[in-house]
């Protein structure tokens, strides 16, 4: 049965890469400041007169995420291609979250529990499920661990001044 197969070693590897994918843009912002921070949406507005994604979603963030996950994947025992896919899918989830939050008229970097964590972790897992032996339970475990880790980890990142505010 699908729920019986749990691969905690694989779950941990994927959780590390999803975390790297989401931490890389924050670290890149700390390193580069505002330089190289061109908005992904080109400052376009949606028909609701709100930004499409917002200025906090930068090309630098996307590139740093893809590079970081591609480089870290072989270190944790997965292929560089799995790393690139996880990074790309995590950023797609992040962009979807931002799009929805702009429609809700929430400011960039505002916290919305669930919306901030689920797409950023679920999209990469679904993308990798075709070639990694991830069960539904594995996916649920990683999404739950990422969600909890992001909420508590953001407080740590705020303390060390990598985040402007904690969640």
Q: How far apart are CA 107 and CA 133, in angstroms?
A: 38
pLDDT, residue 36, reads 81
Burial environment of residue 111 by CB neighbours within 10 A (0 to 12, 13 to 18, 19 or more): middle
Q: How do the domains of the chain map onto residue ranges?
A: 8-159
| Confidence band, pLDDT 50/70/90 cuts, at residue 3 | low
CA distance 52 to 8: 38
pLDDT at residue 1 in the model: 45
Q: What is the pLDDT of residue 162?
A: 61
pLDDT tens column, 11-32: 999 999 999 999 999 899 888 8
DSSP, res 45: B
pLDDT tens readout for residues 103-160 = 888 877 677 777 888 999 999 999 999 899 999 999 999 999 999 888 777 677 667 7
Average pLDDT over residues 95-109: 86
Q: What is the pLDDT of residue 166?
A: 61
Each residue's pLDDT tens digit, 43-93: 999 999 888 888 889 999 999 999 999 999 999 999 999 999 999 999 999
pLDDT of residue 113: 74
If you count them, how many residues does the chain have? Answer: 167
Around Cβ 137, how many Cβ atoms within 10 Å?
A: 16
Contact by Cβ (8 Å): 95, 117: no
Enter the DSSP assignment of 164: S
């Amino acid at each position: 049965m699908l729920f019986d197969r749990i691969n905690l070693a694989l779950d941990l590897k994927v959780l590390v890469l999803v975390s790297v994918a989401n931490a890389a843009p924050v670290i890149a912002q700390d390193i580069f400041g505002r330089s190289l921070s061109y908005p992904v949406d080109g400052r376009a507005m949606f028909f609701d007169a709100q930004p499409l994604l917002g200025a906090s979603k930068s090309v630098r963030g996307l590139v740093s995420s893809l590079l970081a996950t591609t480089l870290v994947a072989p270190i944790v025992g997965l292929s560089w291609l799995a790393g690139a896919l996880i990074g790309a899918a995590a950023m797609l989830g992040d962009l979807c979250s931002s799009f929805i939050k702009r429609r809700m008229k929430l400011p960039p970097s505002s916290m919305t529990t669930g919306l901030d964590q689920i797409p950023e972790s679920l999209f990469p897992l679904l993308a990798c499920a075709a070639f990694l032996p991830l069960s539904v339970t594995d996916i649920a475990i990683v999404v739950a661990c990422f969600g909890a880790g992001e909420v508590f980890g953001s407080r740590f990142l705020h303390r060390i001044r990598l985040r402007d505010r904690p969640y």
